[in-house]
């Protein structure tokens, strides 16, 4: 399985869409709630350079927002 971390907030529609996408494709992921976890928020900003969510880290490749095509490419989903 891919090493996937999603930085999200509970009210983010695009975060929910990304998590649904992962579940649909049986992709295991770690979720970090940046609304409550200051260290996760700092990590997210350091990796992406911004405060917008979702920020998805797939084996060191950073995807900002829910970009289904890019996620499929990085996760090798056909």
Task: Please provide the average confidence, as pLDDT, over all residues in the chain.
Answer: 95
Question: Which CATH number do you get for residue 20?
Answer: 3.40.30.10
pLDDT attached to residue 1:
47
DSSP-assigned letter for residue 5: E
Q: What is the DSSP string of 26-65?
A: T---EEEETTT-HHHHHHHHHHHSS--S-EEEETTEEEES
What is the domain range of residue 50?
4-75
Structural contact between residues 53 and 43, judged by C-beta atoms closer than 8 angstroms:
no
Q: How many domains does the chain have?
A: 1
The predicted model scores a pTM of 0.94
Tell me, what DSSP letter sits at residue 3?
Answer: -
- Residues 38-75 have pLDDT tens digits of 999 999 999 999 999 999 999 999 999 999 999 999 99
Q: Residue 17 burial by CB count (10 A; 0-12/13-18/19+): exposed, middle or buried?
A: middle
């Amino acid at each position: 399985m891919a090493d996937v971390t999603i930085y999200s907030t509970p009210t983010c529609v695009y975060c929910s869409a990304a998590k649904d996408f992962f579940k649909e494709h049986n992709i295991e992921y770690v979720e970090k709630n940046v609304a409550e976890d200051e260290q996760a928020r700092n990590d997210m900003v350091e990796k992406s350079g911004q405060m917008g969510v979702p920020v998805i880290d797939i084996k060191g490749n950073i995807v900002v927002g829910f970009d289904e095509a890019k996620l499929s490419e990085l996760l090798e989903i056909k």
